[in-house]
Amino acid sequence: AHIVQETVDHCCGIDPDLRTTLNARDIVDSLQLYRCPTHLELISVLRHLTTVLPRSEVKLLVVDSIAMPFRVKFESQPEKFKLLAVVAQLLMQIAGLGVCVLLTNHVTTKVVQGHLNDTSSYLA
């Protein structure tokens, strides 16, 4: 929630007219979070999303981290590659629905105050 509020404040600093329509609470309330610690859970959620997204107003899917569910020991490399291909195919199918798909590799953030000047913040 802190990052969302910082982003809203930053955007409203650029365009003060956004203050009337851009609200951090509304943004946070509109988020849906799925935790997928395993590759099987990730595939299951992605399959589910391919069925519900055509009837939704979802514009963005963020997968953080794409690598984490695949850090388990697999029977063989071909098995791992096959499952990665399934994930890639599902993500391309979701993107084909007009949803922006953003993949990260385990992003963390730290908001640092006052390093550039007394009123600025940036993510490190």
What pLDDT, in 10s, does the model give residues 23-39? Answer: 888 888 888 888 899 99
Cα–Cα distance for residue pair 28/107, rounded to 1 Å: 19
**Helix, strand, or coil (residue 45):** helix
Q: What H or E segment, with its residue span, contains residue 102?
A: strand 100-103
Cα–Cα distance for residue pair 86/72, rounded to 1 Å: 17
Cα–Cα distance for residue pair 93/70, rounded to 1 Å: 20
Residue type, 63: V
Q: What is the pLDDT of residue 74?
A: 86
**8 Å CB contact between 69 and 42:** yes
pTM of the model: 0.71
